[in-house]
Amino acid sequence: MSPIQDQKRMETPEIIAGHDAERTAASCAAFGVSEAEFGELRRRAAAAKATAYCPYSQFRVGATLLARDGSFISGANVENAAYPVGTCAERVAFGAAVTSGFRDFRAVAVSTDISPPASPCGMCRQFIREFCSLDTPIIMFDKNEDYVVLRLKQVSSLLSILLAGNSFDVKLLPMSFGPDQLPRPGAPGAV
Protein backbone atom coordinates (compact mmCIF):
# COMPACT_ATOMS: atom_id res chain seq x y z
CA MET A 1 0.00 0.00 0.00
CA SER A 2 1.44 3.37 -0.96
CA PRO A 3 1.83 6.12 1.64
CA ILE A 4 -1.06 7.98 0.01
CA GLN A 5 -3.27 4.90 0.05
CA ASP A 6 -2.29 4.20 3.62
CA GLN A 7 -3.07 7.78 4.63
CA LYS A 8 -6.42 7.60 2.85
CA ARG A 9 -7.27 4.34 4.61
CA MET A 10 -6.50 5.90 7.96
CA GLU A 11 -8.53 9.02 7.23
CA THR A 12 -11.65 7.31 5.98
CA PRO A 13 -13.86 5.91 8.72
CA GLU A 14 -14.85 2.34 8.08
CA ILE A 15 -18.51 1.57 7.52
CA ILE A 16 -19.31 -1.57 9.50
CA ALA A 17 -22.09 -3.83 8.31
CA GLY A 18 -24.93 -3.92 10.79
CA HIS A 19 -25.21 -7.69 10.43
CA ASP A 20 -21.52 -8.24 11.20
CA ALA A 21 -21.91 -9.52 14.76
CA GLU A 22 -18.21 -10.10 15.24
CA ARG A 23 -17.22 -6.57 14.25
CA THR A 24 -20.06 -5.09 16.23
CA ALA A 25 -18.96 -6.99 19.33
CA ALA A 26 -15.46 -5.60 18.82
CA SER A 27 -16.83 -2.08 18.39
CA CYS A 28 -18.86 -2.38 21.56
CA ALA A 29 -15.82 -3.58 23.51
CA ALA A 30 -13.68 -0.78 22.12
CA PHE A 31 -16.18 1.92 22.96
CA GLY A 32 -17.43 0.69 26.31
CA VAL A 33 -20.98 -0.07 25.26
CA SER A 34 -22.60 -3.45 25.83
CA GLU A 35 -24.01 -5.28 22.83
CA ALA A 36 -27.47 -4.97 24.33
CA GLU A 37 -27.01 -1.21 24.71
CA PHE A 38 -25.70 -0.97 21.16
CA GLY A 39 -28.77 -2.81 19.90
CA GLU A 40 -31.04 -0.46 21.82
CA LEU A 41 -29.22 2.59 20.47
CA ARG A 42 -29.66 1.31 16.93
CA ARG A 43 -33.31 0.40 17.39
CA ARG A 44 -34.29 3.55 19.24
CA ALA A 45 -32.42 5.96 16.95
CA ALA A 46 -34.07 4.37 13.91
CA ALA A 47 -37.47 4.46 15.60
CA ALA A 48 -37.00 8.10 16.57
CA LYS A 49 -36.91 9.02 12.88
CA ALA A 50 -40.63 8.35 12.76
CA THR A 51 -41.19 11.25 15.16
CA ALA A 52 -39.35 13.79 12.99
CA TYR A 53 -41.16 16.92 11.84
CA CYS A 54 -39.43 17.63 8.55
CA PRO A 55 -41.96 18.85 5.96
CA TYR A 56 -39.35 21.11 4.33
CA SER A 57 -36.31 18.86 3.95
CA GLN A 58 -38.04 15.47 4.09
CA PHE A 59 -34.80 14.40 5.74
CA ARG A 60 -35.58 12.40 8.84
CA VAL A 61 -33.01 12.16 11.58
CA GLY A 62 -33.32 10.24 14.82
CA ALA A 63 -30.92 10.51 17.74
CA THR A 64 -30.65 8.45 20.91
CA LEU A 65 -28.41 9.13 23.87
CA LEU A 66 -27.15 6.55 26.32
CA ALA A 67 -26.92 8.16 29.74
CA ARG A 68 -24.39 7.06 32.33
CA ASP A 69 -27.06 5.19 34.30
CA GLY A 70 -28.17 3.20 31.25
CA SER A 71 -31.19 5.35 30.38
CA PHE A 72 -31.99 6.07 26.75
CA ILE A 73 -33.26 9.46 25.60
CA SER A 74 -34.32 10.05 22.01
CA GLY A 75 -35.12 12.98 19.79
CA ALA A 76 -35.74 13.81 16.14
CA ASN A 77 -35.34 16.87 13.97
CA VAL A 78 -38.03 19.53 14.27
CA GLU A 79 -38.15 21.95 11.37
CA ASN A 80 -39.78 25.34 11.01
CA ALA A 81 -41.17 27.48 8.18
CA ALA A 82 -38.38 29.89 9.11
CA TYR A 83 -35.72 27.36 8.19
CA PRO A 84 -32.89 28.38 10.54
CA VAL A 85 -35.22 28.04 13.51
CA GLY A 86 -35.44 24.29 12.99
CA THR A 87 -33.57 22.06 15.39
CA CYS A 88 -31.54 18.94 14.75
CA ALA A 89 -32.34 15.57 16.29
CA GLU A 90 -29.21 15.57 18.42
CA ARG A 91 -30.07 18.87 20.10
CA VAL A 92 -33.69 17.84 20.60
CA ALA A 93 -32.47 14.66 22.33
CA PHE A 94 -29.96 16.50 24.51
CA GLY A 95 -32.54 19.13 25.41
CA ALA A 96 -34.96 16.44 26.52
CA ALA A 97 -32.24 14.61 28.43
CA VAL A 98 -30.79 17.63 30.17
CA THR A 99 -34.18 18.95 31.23
CA SER A 100 -34.93 15.48 32.61
CA GLY A 101 -31.87 15.73 34.83
CA PHE A 102 -29.29 13.78 32.81
CA ARG A 103 -25.84 15.36 32.59
CA ASP A 104 -23.53 12.43 31.88
CA PHE A 105 -23.60 10.36 28.71
CA ARG A 106 -21.76 7.31 27.42
CA ALA A 107 -22.77 7.25 23.76
CA VAL A 108 -24.65 9.15 21.08
CA ALA A 109 -26.41 7.40 18.18
CA VAL A 110 -27.70 9.12 15.06
CA SER A 111 -29.81 7.47 12.36
CA THR A 112 -30.74 8.76 8.91
CA ASP A 113 -32.36 7.43 5.72
CA ILE A 114 -29.23 7.79 3.61
CA SER A 115 -26.09 5.80 2.99
CA PRO A 116 -23.28 6.31 3.85
CA PRO A 117 -24.32 7.58 7.25
CA ALA A 118 -24.45 11.26 8.10
CA SER A 119 -22.46 12.85 10.88
CA PRO A 120 -23.76 15.44 13.36
CA CYS A 121 -23.56 18.97 11.97
CA GLY A 122 -21.03 21.40 13.36
CA MET A 123 -23.53 23.05 15.65
CA CYS A 124 -24.54 19.70 17.10
CA ARG A 125 -20.92 18.65 17.60
CA GLN A 126 -20.45 21.73 19.73
CA PHE A 127 -23.70 20.97 21.55
CA ILE A 128 -22.56 17.39 22.22
CA ARG A 129 -19.22 18.74 23.42
CA GLU A 130 -20.99 20.59 26.21
CA PHE A 131 -22.21 17.37 27.80
CA CYS A 132 -19.89 14.61 26.61
CA SER A 133 -16.24 13.83 27.02
CA LEU A 134 -14.12 13.85 23.90
CA ASP A 135 -13.90 10.05 24.16
CA THR A 136 -17.65 9.61 23.80
CA PRO A 137 -18.51 7.37 20.84
CA ILE A 138 -20.73 8.89 18.17
CA ILE A 139 -22.44 6.02 16.33
CA MET A 140 -23.82 6.99 12.93
CA PHE A 141 -26.28 4.55 11.36
CA ASP A 142 -27.24 4.64 7.71
CA LYS A 143 -30.53 3.59 6.12
CA ASN A 144 -29.45 -0.06 6.26
CA GLU A 145 -28.32 0.22 9.88
CA ASP A 146 -24.74 -0.15 8.80
CA TYR A 147 -22.68 2.28 10.79
CA VAL A 148 -19.58 4.34 11.44
CA VAL A 149 -18.44 4.95 14.99
CA LEU A 150 -15.95 7.63 16.01
CA ARG A 151 -15.02 9.26 19.24
CA LEU A 152 -16.03 12.89 19.51
CA LYS A 153 -12.41 13.97 19.46
CA GLN A 154 -11.31 11.60 16.77
CA VAL A 155 -9.46 12.73 13.73
CA SER A 156 -11.49 11.72 10.74
CA SER A 157 -12.28 12.55 7.17
CA LEU A 158 -16.04 12.53 7.28
CA LEU A 159 -16.28 14.80 4.27
CA SER A 160 -14.43 12.24 2.19
CA ILE A 161 -17.37 9.90 2.69
CA LEU A 162 -19.72 12.48 1.27
CA LEU A 163 -17.32 13.68 -1.40
CA ALA A 164 -15.89 10.40 -2.64
CA GLY A 165 -12.54 10.73 -4.29
CA ASN A 166 -11.41 13.67 -2.20
CA SER A 167 -9.36 13.22 0.89
CA PHE A 168 -10.05 16.19 3.09
CA ASP A 169 -8.44 15.95 6.47
CA VAL A 170 -11.29 17.01 8.70
CA LYS A 171 -11.38 16.57 12.43
CA LEU A 172 -14.69 15.81 14.06
CA LEU A 173 -14.07 18.56 16.59
CA PRO A 174 -10.62 20.10 16.25
CA MET A 175 -9.42 22.45 18.99
CA SER A 176 -12.72 21.99 20.72
CA PHE A 177 -14.09 24.49 23.19
CA GLY A 178 -16.09 23.24 26.13
CA PRO A 179 -17.25 24.26 29.58
CA ASP A 180 -13.93 23.23 31.09
CA GLN A 181 -12.26 26.04 29.14
CA LEU A 182 -14.38 28.71 30.78
CA PRO A 183 -13.25 30.40 33.98
CA ARG A 184 -15.12 29.26 37.04
CA PRO A 185 -17.26 31.84 38.81
CA GLY A 186 -15.01 33.94 41.01
CA ALA A 187 -11.86 32.92 39.13
CA PRO A 188 -9.66 35.56 37.54
CA GLY A 189 -11.23 36.60 34.24
CA ALA A 190 -14.71 35.54 35.27
CA VAL A 191 -17.45 38.13 35.26
- Catalytic residue annotation: 90
Nearer of residues 36 and 121 to Zn ion, judged by Cβ: 121
* Rounded least distance, CB 186 to Zn ion, Å: 34
Nearer of residues 33 and 88 to Zn ion, judged by Cβ: 88
Instruction: Give the helix ranges, DSSP H, for the chain.
Output: 3-11, 21-31, 35-48, 89-98, 122-131, 158-162
DSSP string, 53-79: B-TTT---EEEEEEETTS-EEEEE-B-
Number of residues that bind Zn ion (CB under 5 A): 3
* Rounded least distance, CB 136 to Zn ion, Å: 16
Nearer of residues 34 and 80 to Zn ion, judged by Cβ: 80
Q: Which of residues 141-170 bind Zn ion (CB under 5 A)?
A: none
Nearer of residues 7 and 176 to Zn ion, judged by Cβ: 176
Nearer of residues 66 and 93 to Zn ion, judged by Cβ: 93
Q: How far is CA 140 from the centre of its chain?
A: 6
Alpha carbon distances (Å) from 113 to 25, 49, 63, 169, 179? 24, 9, 12, 25, 33
In angstroms, rounded to a whole number, what is the distance separating the alpha carbons of residues 101 and 150?
A: 26
* Rounded least distance, CB 90 to Zn ion, Å: 5
* Rounded least distance, CB 144 to Zn ion, Å: 22
The distance between the two most distant Cα atoms of the chain, rounded to a whole number of Å, is 55
Q: Which of residues 74-133 bind Zn ion (CB under 5 A)?
A: 88, 121, 124
Q: Helix (H, G, I), strand (E, B), or coil: what is residue 153?
A: coil
Binding mask 30-69 for Zn ion (x = CB under 5 A): ----------------------------------------
* Rounded least distance, CB 167 to Zn ion, Å: 24
In angstroms, rounded to a whole number, what is the distance separating the alpha carbons of residues 131 and 74?
A: 15
Cis peptide bond prior to 116, omega within 30° of 0: yes
Q: Which residues bind Zn ion (CB under 5 A)?
A: 88, 121, 124
